[in-house]
Amino acid sequence: MKKVAFLASIAILSLSVACNQAGQEAEVSTDLINNPATASENAGEGEEKLPGIEFVEEVIEFGEISQGEKVKQRFRFKNTGNADLIISDAKGSCGCTVPLWPKQPIRPGQEGEIEVVFDSNGKQGRQHKTVTLVTNAIPNTKVIAIKGDVLVPETNNAQ
């Protein structure tokens, strides 16, 4: 078994050296690097139509809550681009943070909202939870957050 793994390693190494030498003769095109849809933050005239996403607030402070409470916050946003905005995914930083987002495309100029529910069960102290959105805008990820304090109720152990 060790001989087979050794021979496979030599074969792979030989192929990579041969490919590397052949690749030295070919020129690399800069077309991919200069793609205006990926290299530019600002879409100008003659460039591809792109969506944009702009939030009213990217971080919402929910204040103080008691342990076990659920907090619901709404993040309002607008498509500031010139193409339909699609949010393909949204993930909370932990299982206690659940986002709900529009599944339909948001037209240019239209507004939408993302609802984030934070469950404080088992949490205590200062909390900072994030939601990462995956969109068809550039950049394709956007992070929004909720912050606040979870207070643990004092228990009376006197009998």
Would you list the domain boundaries of the chain? 2-39, 53-151
Tell me: pLDDT of 29 over 60.
no
**In this predicted structure, what is the pLDDT of residue 22?**
44
pLDDT band at 7 (very low <50, low <70, confident <90, very high): low
Please answer whether residues 9 and 1 qualify as being in contact, where contact means their C-beta atoms are separated by less than 8 angstroms: no
Q: What are the C-alpha distances in Å from 102 to residues 20, 72, 77, 87, 107?
A: 47, 16, 11, 7, 12
Gyration radius from the chain CA atoms: 25
Looking at residues 139-154, what average pLDDT do you find? 94
Which H helix or E strand runs over 73?
Answer: strand 70-79
Find, among 106, 120, 104, the residue nearest to 68 by Cα.
120
In this predicted structure, what is the pLDDT of residue 39?
45
pLDDT digit string (tens) for 103-123? 999 999 999 999 999 999 999
The per-residue pLDDT for 64 is 96
**For 53-151, which CATH superfamily applies?**
Immunoglobulins (2.60.40.10)
